[in-house]
Amino acid sequence: MPSSMDRMRHLLSTAEHSDVHFLVGDGDAKEILPSHQLILKNASNVFEAMFRPDAKKEQGQNASVNCPAVIEVPDVEVSAFKVMLSFIYADDLDELDGNNAMALLYAAKKYNIPDLVDACLQIPISELRNVFFAFAQARLFKLEAFSLKCLRYICQNAVQLFESNDFLQIDQNMLCVFLDNDLLLFSDEFEIWKTALRWADEKCRQNGIECSLENRRAMLGSALFKIRFTNIHEEDFSKFVVPSGVLTMEEVLGVYQFNAHPFLHLHGIPGLYSLKFPSHGRIFDWKKAKDNRKGTLSLDIEKLSEFAGESVGSRRLSDAVDINGFEWKIKAELRKKTDDTDDKKCLGFYLWCNAKEGGPLNCVYSAIYRIVSEKREADNCIGTRCDCVINKAHIVRGFTNFITFEELMEPSNGFYNREDDKVTLAIDITMKDEKIEKFIADPNKSNGTLCMEIEKLSEFAREIKGSERKSEAFRITGMPWKISAEIEMEYENNEKWLGFYLLCDDASEKDEHWSRKCSATLRIVSQKNGTEDLIGRLNNLIFDKKSTEWGFSNFIRFAELMDPSKGFYNREEDKMELAIDFIMNETKMEKIISDPNKSNGTLSMEIEELSAFAREIGGSERISETAVYIKGMPWKISAEIVMDGVKSNEKRLCFSLLSDDAPKEDENWSCNCSGTFQIVSQKNGVSNFISEFDDDVFDYNENKWAYLYSISFAELMDPEKSFYDQSEDKVTLAIEFTVNEAKPEDKS
């Protein structure tokens, strides 16, 4: 006795008692396929709606058995419609294969048959008749997982697939998707350029127009600006790309300028010609690259879910690549989040380098660390390091808390390939021949101004904590000085801040005991007339081998920085400008002969232009110029702006006693002090404000600071308090103190 499935197949094949006919296909391929409304209605709500009596009446169909309804279906292939009917009647998918899977997918989506959709998506990508058409269908129906599978397959097999005629039929939008992908696997970018040009020539022929340079450029459209011309070897670029005439002269010069000075965009120096094309690398094999100065390393972390479950300290390493006498690897390490109280695991992301035997002793590079996104609409997760020095002392550079595993594996972020359980890391490296340019400057010059423009500020603002930009170096007193801008994070409010620093460092300096002292004014330059620069000041900074960077970790919030009303952000050009005015002080204070037995003294300091000082940022300071020597040590007053987080970030003036120049040869010195802090009254008959301190300890490890007293600027500048001389815009501070004990301990 035949099974129920056999009876259903018989009913379909014989068309007995059919009450609806479908005229399927287009042109000469049309065919009438009879069916049964009752069976179709039970398989799909689309058919159910189609066969309602009111729907038939609207369509003018005759529903009688003697005259079955005829429904035209010109947009579905006959073979696909037949397979769909076989599935509806008897769950039969014997005829489903790579040749008809996408046509059948279209029919299954059109008539809303979910099980059939799933069956179509199970066909291996490699068996599909036209993977480009499959990718287009997946995007049309918003089948994200299947779309990513198609995209990965196309990118991994691009060399073979892009030679096919199917590739030449894709539209410009799809070409943009492929050229925009970091994982597009070609031997080098020049091959991608030639492939794109072949596609443009075919589009010219399809449109019946001449393959002129104007038409080639028009056919490529926005896809032209997805090609990474800076990654094409200069010889190929000059010999083949430039003569093609597709690029404008300004675009050509922008590429040449970038290749000659690849650090300009990281150092904030505006070029004569802007670069119109992406500059980050693709995941190529660097061993085969013609240009060994720049390239991209990559690491696929497979079985990511297992890696995420391992213990802290577990790591993955990429294969080593030999570049300029160094072995380079990507190192991924499982870390514990250190920036807040959450017990979360993070991905540590590093560039590891080891000098080969007989190779150079050091090198300098800049690097962009990326977690590659597989979603076109999602950004890569990016961090940037500038002017990193690799030598025996520094072989690993990167980010300890690059991203939490929770964020890394969140599907909506687009980093995690759940199907293959992996993620792809990449580092774009640009190597520099020397640490800084040799710049002969006046050896007696003791002051200067550094400037740096941060271009593409909106992109920089999206990078992770620790990403940085650095200016080119400017030599003062024989040492290289730079601006460093860094992304800092306030985790309590999940806000990004701009860290702003003055940097002095020279790896080539042979004297390990070098030191420089300077004072600096750090400014965000206003871009709007009538708006003041945002200022932070630091005084008597000591730079040496251990302390190469001074500044403000929380100079300004990015939300405030990019607020148009503040006047700091040039939205039209997407940039901002930083400046540092600095002046060198004597490295060591002048020796002052004083009574070695003197144990007490009085310090005083006038803070002039107090209203301007009050507008500076938290951390800005003033230090008295003249030191008083007590017990052979120089003492000063320090006044600093601090922010009171409890009272809505109220600004307060904090002043303290400072032992300014500790004996470098004795790290065990210490002394105790007692005395009074005074704010001097500006009105006759009104007493000074006095606060006492007793037996405060100074030593080498505590930065030589004593008791800190603070007062709000609102109270300090209140006319009724008598501290503020409004006519001269100043306040006077004083400290009377006694050094109770000042004897260096015997190191033995």
CATH of the domain at 652: 2.60.210.10
Q: Of 587, 612, 646, which residue is a domain's last?
A: 587
- Same-domain check for residues 627 and 719: yes
- The count of domains in the chain is 3
Q: Is there a domain that residue 683 lies in?
A: yes
* Residue 568 · residue 576 · CB < 8 Å: yes
- Same-domain check for residues 568 and 602: no
pLDDT at 65: 44
Amino acid at 702: E
- Same-domain check for residues 634 and 550: no
Which is it for strands 69-73 and 20-24: parallel, antiparallel or unpaired?
Answer: parallel
Which of 181-185, 331-335, 621-625 holds the top average pLDDT?
331-335
> Where are the alpha helices (H) located in 228-347, listed in sequence order?
234-236, 242-244, 249-260, 264-267, 304-308
Tell me which of 31 and 6 has the higher pLDDT: 31
Q: The sheet that has 670-679: what strands, in order across it?
A: 600-608, 730-742, 670-679, 689-699
**Half-sphere exposure (Cβ direction) of 560: Cα atoms closer than 13 Å:** 11
Stretch 437-448: mean pLDDT:
56
Stretch 694-699: mean pLDDT:
75
The first and second tokens of residue 475, run together, are 């030599």
- Same-domain check for residues 175 and 61: yes
- Same-domain check for residues 675 and 562: no
- Same-domain check for residues 446 and 495: yes
> Where are the alpha helices (H) located in 662-738, listed in sequence order?
713-716
Q: Is there a domain that residue 237 lies in?
A: no
Q: Is there a domain that residue 444 lies in?
A: yes
- Same-domain check for residues 582 and 599: no
Per-residue b/e over 336-375, b at no fewer than 16 CB within 10 Å?
ebeeeeeeebbbbbbbbbebeeeeeeebbbbbbbbbbbbe
Q: Is there a domain that residue 261 lies in?
A: no
pLDDT at 96: 94
Stretch 679-689: mean pLDDT:
84
Question: What H or E segment, with its residue span, contains residue 705?
Answer: strand 705-712
Note the pTM of the prediction, 2 decimals: 0.66
Residues near 682 by beta carbon (within 8 Å), at least 6 away in sequence: 722, 723, 724, 725, 731, 732
pLDDT, tens digit, 9 for 90 and up, residues 497-507: 999 999 987 65
Q: Is there a domain that residue 343 lies in?
A: no
Query: Across the chain, what does the average pLDDT equal?
Result: 82
Which of 345-349, 428-432, 585-589 holds the top average pLDDT?
345-349
- Same-domain check for residues 612 and 474: no
Among 191-205, 616-630, 699-713, the least confident range? 699-713
- Same-domain check for residues 123 and 163: yes
pLDDT at 748: 39
Q: Is there a domain that residue 282 lies in?
A: no
- Same-domain check for residues 598 and 558: no
- Same-domain check for residues 464 and 597: no
pLDDT of 340 strictly over 80: no
CA 725 from chain center: how many Å?
48
pLDDT of 620 strictly over 60: yes
Q: Of 587, 608, 641, which residue is a domain's last?
A: 587
Nearest to 697 by CA among 739, 663, 733, 747: 739
Q: Of 160, 187, 221, which residue is a domain's last?
A: 221
Residues near 648 by beta carbon (within 8 Å), at least 6 away in sequence: none
pLDDT at 27: 81
> Which phi-psi region, left, alpha or beta, contains residue 356 (left: φ > 0; alpha: ψ -120 to 50)?
beta
Residue 732: what are its φ and ψ, rounded to 5°? -115, 125
Question: What H or E segment, with its residue span, contains residue 203?
Answer: helix 189-206
- Same-domain check for residues 638 and 709: yes
CATH code where residue 8 lies? 3.30.710.10
Q: Is there a domain that residue 627 lies in?
A: yes
Structural domain of 622: 591-748
Question: What H or E segment, with its residue span, contains residue 459?
Answer: helix 457-460
Stretch 558-584: mean pLDDT:
91
Q: Is there a domain that residue 243 lies in?
A: no
